[in-house]
C-alpha cells in the first residue's frame, strides 16, 4: 500500500501514529455493562503503518489514506468475539482497507471526526475517534472546483488557516477578496504578512487595495515605502503625490513634486510645477508658489490655464497689475473663452479701466449673442462712462434680442431703477408683473420703487403680497419698515404687525417696534415691545440696559433696579450700569427715608 500513497501524506501518517499512541485513555469509556470487559487499545493500519490508539483516544486520518482495523485489546483475560463498526456505516467491513474520502464523499468537508466502536458479543465495550485531517491542498482543490465566489473564499480561508505563512495562498485569498469587492479585508490580509513590508510587488498591490477601499492614508503609507525602494521611478512619485494632494498633505506633496520636476522637462515639467505651485500655496509658501508657476509658464507659455492660475496667484499676493497682465495673456490665447473674457472685463472694471472692461464685455456679448446679460453689463459700463450713444445702441440690441421678454424687461427695470429713474423702471416692471405676478423678486423691486415714489398705499398693498412670498427675509423688512416709518409711521406700524405675525421670534422686530413707539411718544408700548425683545435675547445686556432706562424714565424703579442687578451680575464692568444702579438705589432709599449706605 505504501507505494500508492502520495508523498505529502507520509509526514502526516507518521504524526498520526505518534499522536494516537500517546492519546489519553478515557475512564470507563464506552462500557455500558458494569463489571463487563473494557476496551484498552485498538490496533489500526493507516497507510500501511501500524497505529495503536487507547480507548477514548483519537487517530488523525487523511481522507485519501487507506485504513483498516488490525485488532483490539480489552481488560478481559481472553479477547475472543471482538467486532468493529464505524458509527453511521455499520455495513463496512473494517478488516479491509477503506478511505474516508470514499466513505463520506462530499460530506467529508463538513465532518470533523467519526467514531470507531468495538463490540464483544454484540455489546459495545469502548470506542476511539477517527479525526478527519484535511491538508491545505484539499481545501484549495475544493476552492478551485467551487462555482460561487463566496465558496471559493471560504475554502481558501480554511486552507490558509492550516498554513498561515504561505505567501502564495495569502495572495490568492487577497485576490478573491478583491474580486468580491472586499478591498479592506484584502489589504488587511496582505498587510499582515511580512512580505508586504519588503517586496515592491506586494507594496504596490497593497497600495492599490487601500485606494480601492478608500483608505487613502494607508495607501500613501504603502506607496511611500515603495518610493523609498524605487526612488527614481517618476510614475510612482506622481501617484504618491496625487494621493498627498487628495489628502491635503500639501507639504509632503510639495516635497515630492519638487523631486519629480527635477527629472522632467518641457510641458510635463510645466504640469508638475503647476501642481507644485498649488501645493506650496496650500502649505503657506506663497512666494515659492509664484516662483514655481513662473517657471511653469516659461516652459509652456502657450497654455491659457497656466496664465490664469498665475493671474490668480499674483492677485492674491497684491500684484494687481501683474494679475491683469497675466489674465490678458490668457484671454489672448483663448479668444473664444467667454468666461475668461467676462472675468477679465470685471477685473478691468475693478481696476477702474472702463474702456478695456467694455471692450472685453463686447467680446463676451459677441460670443454669446442670445444672452442679454452681457448687454446689460455693457449698458451699466457705458452709463457709468457717460457714453449715451453706446448706451442707446445697447438698449436697441436688447429690444431686438427679446422684445417683450419678462426677463429682459426685469433686467431693464433694475437697470433703470439703479439709474434713479423709478417711474420708468416701474413702467418696465409692469410687463414682468403681468407675466409673473407672484415672483418675489419682482414684488420686491416694485415695493422699493413705490416707496421711492412715495406711493404709500400701493407700497403697503405690495408689501402684503411680498410678505407671503418672503416672510422671513428680515433684512428686507427692516429696511422697508425703517423707510416707511420715517414718512408714514401709521402705515409702518400696520405693516410691522403683519411682519411680526410671520416672525414672532424676531428680537430685531420688537426693537424696531419699541423705537417706533418711542417716536410716537408711547413709552408704555415701547417698554412692552422692548421687554419682549429682552425675553427673546436674554443675554443681550445692551438691550436690558435700554429697557432699564425706559423703566427708570417711567418711574418704575424696582423693575429697572432688577435689570441693572442682572446686568452687573453678568458683567460687573458694563458701562454706566453701576452708576445707574446706585442712582436708582439711592433714590429708593431716600424715598423710603433710609440713609444711603457709605461706599
Q: How many CA atoms lie within 13 A of 368 on its CB side?
A: 16
Q: How many domains does the chain have?
A: 2
Q: Where residue 162 sits, what CATH number does that domain have?
A: 1.25.40.10
Give yes or no for residue 22 having a pLDDT over 60. Answer: no
Q: How far apart are CA 425 and CA 14, in angstroms?
A: 104
Residue 125 falls inside a structural domain: yes
Q: DSSP secondary-structure letter at 577?
A: H
Phi/psi region, residue 513 (left: phi>0; alpha: psi -120 to 50; beta: rest), is alpha
Q: Read off the pLDDT of each residue in 313-325 and give the average, rounded to a whole number.
A: 91
Residue 178 falls inside a structural domain: yes
Q: Read off the pLDDT of each residue in 323-333 and give the average, rounded to a whole number.
A: 92
Give yes or no for residue 331 having a pLDDT over 60. Answer: yes
Helices (H), 180-232: 183-191, 200-212, 216-229
Q: Read off the pTM.
A: 0.53
pLDDT for res 12:
43
* Residue 140 CB neighbour total at 10 angstroms: 20
pLDDT for res 326:
93
Compute and round to an integer the Cα radius of gyration of the chain: 46
pLDDT tens digits for range 571-585: 999 999 899 999 998
Q: Which long-range contacts (CB under 8 A, 24 or more apart) does 64-67 make?
A: 64/5, 64/6, 64/9, 64/99, 64/101, 65/5, 65/9, 65/12, 65/13, 65/99, 65/100, 66/1, 66/4, 66/97, 66/98, 66/99, 67/97, 67/98, 67/99, 67/100, 67/130
Last residue of a domain, one of 296, 318, 348: 296
Top-confidence residue, 307 or 431: 307
Phi, psi of 504 (to 5 degrees): -65, -15
Statement to judge: residues 162 and 282 lie in one domain: yes
Give the domain range for residue 255: 137-296
pLDDT tens digits for range 117-136: 999 988 999 999 999 988 89
Statement to judge: residues 105 and 143 lie in one domain: no
Statement to judge: residues 6 and 110 lie in one domain: yes
pLDDT tens digits for range 418-455: 778 889 888 888 888 888 888 899 988 988 998 899 99
pLDDT for res 2:
36
Q: Where residue 103 sits, what CATH number does that domain have?
A: 2.60.40
Surface-to-core class of residue 336, CB atoms within 10 Å of its CB (0-12 exposed, 13-18 middle, 19+ buried): exposed
* Residues 88 and 113: beta-carbon distance below 8 Å: no
* 286: confidence class by pLDDT, cuts 50, 70, 90: very high
Last residue of a domain, one of 108, 134, 160: 134
Q: How far apart are CA 298 and CA 306, in angstroms?
A: 10
Last residue of a domain, one of 134, 155, 186: 134
* 18: confidence class by pLDDT, cuts 50, 70, 90: very low
Pairing, β 82-86 against β 113-120 = antiparallel
pLDDT for res 392:
67
pLDDT tens digits for range 27-62: 344 444 456 799 999 999 998 899 999 999 999 999
Statement to judge: residues 166 and 244 lie in one domain: yes
**Across 73-82, 97-106, 391-400, least confident range:** 391-400
Q: DSSP secondary-structure letter at 197?
A: G
Statement to judge: residues 64 and 187 lie in one domain: no
**Rounded alpha-carbon distances, angstroms, from residue 380 to 358, 371, 410, 595:** 10, 16, 15, 72
Q: How far apart are CA 244 and CA 246, in angstroms?
A: 5
Residue 280 falls inside a structural domain: yes
Amino acid at each position: 500500500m505504501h507505494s500508492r500513497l502520495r508523498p505529502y501524506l507520509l509526514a502526516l501518517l507518521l504524526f498520526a501514529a505518534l499522536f494516537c499512541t500517546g492519546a489519553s485513555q478515557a475512564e470507563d469509556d464506552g462500557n455500558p455493562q458494569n463489571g463487563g470487559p473494557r476496551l484498552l487499545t485498538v490496533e489500526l493500519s493507516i497507510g500501511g503503518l501500524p497505529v495503536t490508539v487507547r480507548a477514548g483516544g483519537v487517530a488523525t486520518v487523511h481522507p485519501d489514506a487507506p485504513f483498516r482495523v488490525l485488532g483490539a485489546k480489552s481488560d478481559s483475560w481472553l479477547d475472543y468475539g471482538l467486532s468493529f463498526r464505524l458509527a453511521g456505516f455499520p455495513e463496512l467491513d473494517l478488516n479491509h482497507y477503506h478511505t474516508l474520502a470514499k466513505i463520506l464523499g462530499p460530506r467529508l468537508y463538513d465532518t470533523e471526526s467519526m467514531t470507531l466502536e468495538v463490540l464483544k458479543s454484540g455489546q459495545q465495550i469502548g470506542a476511539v475517534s477517527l479525526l478527519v485531517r484535511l491538508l491545505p491542498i484539499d481545501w484549495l482543490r475544493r476552492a478551485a472546483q467551487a462555482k460561487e465566489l463566496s465558496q471559493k473564499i471560504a475554502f481558501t480561508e480554511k486552507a490558509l488557516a492550516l498554513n498561515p505563512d504561505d505567501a502564495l495562498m495569502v495572495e490568492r485569498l487577497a485576490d478573491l477578496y478583491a474580486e468580491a469587492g472586499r478591498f479592506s479585508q484584502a489589504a488587511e490580509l496582505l498587510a499582515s504578512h511580512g512580505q508586504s513590508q519588503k517586496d515592491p510587488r506586494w507594496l504596490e498591490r497593497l497600495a492599490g487595495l487601500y485606494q480601492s477601499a478608500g483608505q487613502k492614508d494607508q495607501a500613501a503609507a504603502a506607496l511611500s515605502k515603495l518610493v523609498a525602494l524605487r526612488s527614481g521611478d517618476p510614475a510612482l512619485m506622481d501617484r504618491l503625490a496625487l494621493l498627498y494632494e487628495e489628502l491635503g498633505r500639501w507639504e509632503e506633496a510639495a516635497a515630492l513634486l519638487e523631486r519629480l520636476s527635477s527629472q522632467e522637462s518641457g510641458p510635463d515639467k510645466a504640469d508638475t510645477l503647476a501642481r507644485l505651485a498649488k501645493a506650496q500655496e496650500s502649505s503657506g509658501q506663497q512666494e515659492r508658489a509664484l516662483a514655481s508657476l513662473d517657471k511653469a509658464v516659461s516652459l509652456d507659455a502657450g497654455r491659457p490655464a497656466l496664465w490664469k492660475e498665475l493671474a490668480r496667484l499674483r492677485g492674491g499676493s497684491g500684484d494687481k497689475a501683474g494679475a491683469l497682465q497675466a489674465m490678458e495673456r490668457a484671454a489672448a490665447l483663448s479668444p473664444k473663452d467667454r468666461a475668461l473674457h467676462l472675468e477679465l472685463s470685471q477685473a478691468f472694471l475693478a481696476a477702474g479701466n472702463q474702456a478695456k472692461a467694455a471692450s472685453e464685455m463686447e467680446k463676451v456679448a459677441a460670443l454669446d449673442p442670445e444672452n442679454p446679460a452681457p448687454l446689460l453689463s455693457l449698458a451699466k459700463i457705458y452709463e457709468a462712462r457717460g457714453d449715451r450713444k453706446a448706451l442707446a445702441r445697447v438698449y436697441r440690441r436688447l429690444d431686438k434680442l427679446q422684445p417683450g421678454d419678462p426677463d429682459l424687461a426685469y433686467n431693464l427695470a433694475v437697470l433703470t431703477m439703479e439709474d434713479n429713474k423709478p417711474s420708468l423702471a416701474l413702467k418696465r416692471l409692469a410687463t414682468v408683473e403681468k407675466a409673473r405676478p407672484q415672483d418675489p423678486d419682482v414684488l420686491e423691486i416694485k415695493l422699493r420703487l413705490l416707496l421711492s415714489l412715495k406711493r404709500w398705499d400701493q407700497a403697503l398693498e405690495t408689501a402684503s403680497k411680498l410678505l407671503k412670498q418672503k416672510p422671513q427675509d428680515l433684512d428686507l423688512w427692516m429696511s422697508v419698515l425703517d423707510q416707511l416709518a420715517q414718512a408714514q409711521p401709521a402705515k409702518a406700524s400696520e405693516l410691522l404687525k403683519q411682519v411680526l405675525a410671520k416672525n414672532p421670534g424676531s428680537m430685531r422686530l420688537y426693537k424696531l417696534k419699541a423705537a417706533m413707539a418711542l417716536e410716537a411718544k408711547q413709552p408704555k408700548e415701547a417698554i412692552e415691545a422692548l421687554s419682549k425683545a429682552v425675553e427673546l435675547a436674554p443675554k443681550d445686556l445692551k438691550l436690558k440696559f435700554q429697557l432699564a432706562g425706559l423703566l427708570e424714565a417711567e418711574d418704575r424703579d424696582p423693575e429697572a433696579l432688577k435689570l441693572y442687578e442682572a446686568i452687573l451680575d453678568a458683567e460687573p464692568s458694563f458701562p454706566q450700569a453701576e452708576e445707574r444702579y446706585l442712582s436708582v438705589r439711592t433714590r429708593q432709599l431716600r424715598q423710603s427715608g433710609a440713609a444711603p449706605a457709605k461706599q
